[in-house]
Amino acid sequence: MSAVRVLRSRRFLRQLPPGLPASLRRRYSLDVPAALLRTQGYLGGRWVSAASVFPVLDPATGQELARVSDCGPAEAKQAVEAAYEAFQSWKQTTAKERSVLLRKWFDLLVLHKEDLAKLITFECGKPMRESLGEVAYSASFLEWFSEEARRVYGDIVPSPAKDRKILLLKQPVGVASIITPWNFPSAMITRKAGAALAAGCTVVVKPAEDTPLSALALAQLAEQAGIPAGVVNVVPCSREKTPAVGQVLCTDPLVAKISFTGSTATGKVLLKMAADTVKRVSMELGGHAPFIVFDSADVDSAVGGAMASKFRNSGQTCVCSNRFLVQSGVYERFVDKLGRAMDAELRLGHGSEPNTTQGPLINSRAAEKVMHQISDAVSRGAKVLKGGNRLDGSFMEPTLLADVSTDMLCTKEETFGPLVPVIRFETEEEALAVANAADVGLAGYFYSQDVGQVWRVAEALQVGMVGVNEGLLSTPEATFGGVKQSGLGREGSRYGVDEYLEVKYMCFGGLRP
């Protein structure tokens, strides 16, 4: 089977500091079947080249993986028109037909999981084990929504009049623009597209400029599954062209729905764009998750949850714990055990190496942000117990800070990196006040063995998702979404399909009593 390999190196790693394996000096090659390494846009069932290309880099080494078509507003418009045309027939398919096609797409993801995981690791940087987990997670949404497609029920409502019937019908909204981030380049697409296709909508996907290869591979497998031309479209583009492409996807009158995952700042820009044509909008925006450990907690369990929640994808997930609040009675024990766990379990390196648990951050800007937060915290009295250094490229040492206070930058803004700032608190009320002080509210976590406290805190936390004695909570069966400035709407679960449906009231009158 033919394979595509690394094209060339954009930069070479310099002398490696302590903490990075010497294996990073060697060149890594991305070996996947050529059929899955697509580099053109996918518009209306055709692979289309743009006038220019942009490079996709391995964030661990800086090596160039591929050059991808740099689509612009013209290609975005073409994709929207193709999706609109395909919608006219796709909305007429039966729920069973859509279910069968989504199931075939799911089966193909499972079949090609190893190669899809390689794409994620090389363009996103996460360890191979996590990439395989993402592919399974990504596929699970297609499986879930293939089943939900056949459970989109309307209602027959008892009428107050004897000569009429009241029916509530559910119908697809139309073309959906799907704009996704780099940190889950596969799962964020299927979580949205799976629901949209189940409802009878068609989609135009704009993947992040750092990670277009996973999106294009998904399009290839959708085509192979038999999903009709124009139902799924992918418009890759560079950072420079993203504003113009986004403008088309958020303002074109043929687009009925926008689903976006990304920063709160960008989400606000897209909301303003969508306002002129009053589009349906779903927004999964920034988080700043609190992780609270009460005196009654099982400390070993809390440390395990903290490791899972904080260090997945090197801290680059929207539901990562950001602010660690530990009650004074267990503070010293928690910090000591967490530091020991970090030493024992975390290994920096290229994601394709089997022992790696921590890959690079996505780019140098991300590493600079983490370093800025560490410097600010130290200048205000925090103590660095572990790590604290930036290594080569965008690699960051996993860092543990003690004596953190709420005036520090790391407690005020999302980090998106492997930084654990630990705040000491005395009372439940104090912890909740700190946790709820943020203007965002995506996820929150806490550990307690006090049943009364569990109910109080779970209800009081101003977030859309709560992990109680659990550091990982995402699953296709449950809702995913936040409150306050963390977004609008919900993804996953049976409610995820509703985001792509309109409810039409039909009054059937003139009936004989």
CB neighbour list of residue 156: distance below 8 Å, 6 or more residues apart: 165, 166, 167, 168
How would you write 128-169 as a 3-class SS string?
Answer: HHHHHHHHHHHHHHHHHHHHHHHHCCCEEECCCCCCCEEEEE
Q: CA-to-CA distance for 234 and 50, rounded, in angstroms? A: 13
Please check whether residue 156 is in contact with residue 166, taking contact to mean a CB–CB distance below 8 angstroms: yes
Report the alpha-carbon distance of residue 368 to residue 388 in Å, rounded. Answer: 12
Q: From the CB of residue 487, how many other CB atoms can be counted at a distance below 10 Å?
A: 28
Query: Alpha-carbon distance 464 to 437, whole Å?
Result: 15
CB 376 within 8 A of CB 408: yes
Tokens of residue 368, six digits: 């600079």
Tokens at residue 60, please? 């661990």
On the CB side of 283, CA atoms within 13 Å amount to 26
User: Among all residues, which ones are annotated catalytic?
Assistant: 284, 318
Query: Which H/E stretch holds residue 206?
Result: strand 202-206
Alpha helix positions (H), 346-471: 364-379, 428-435, 451-460
The span from the CA of 129 to the CA of 121, in Å, is: 9
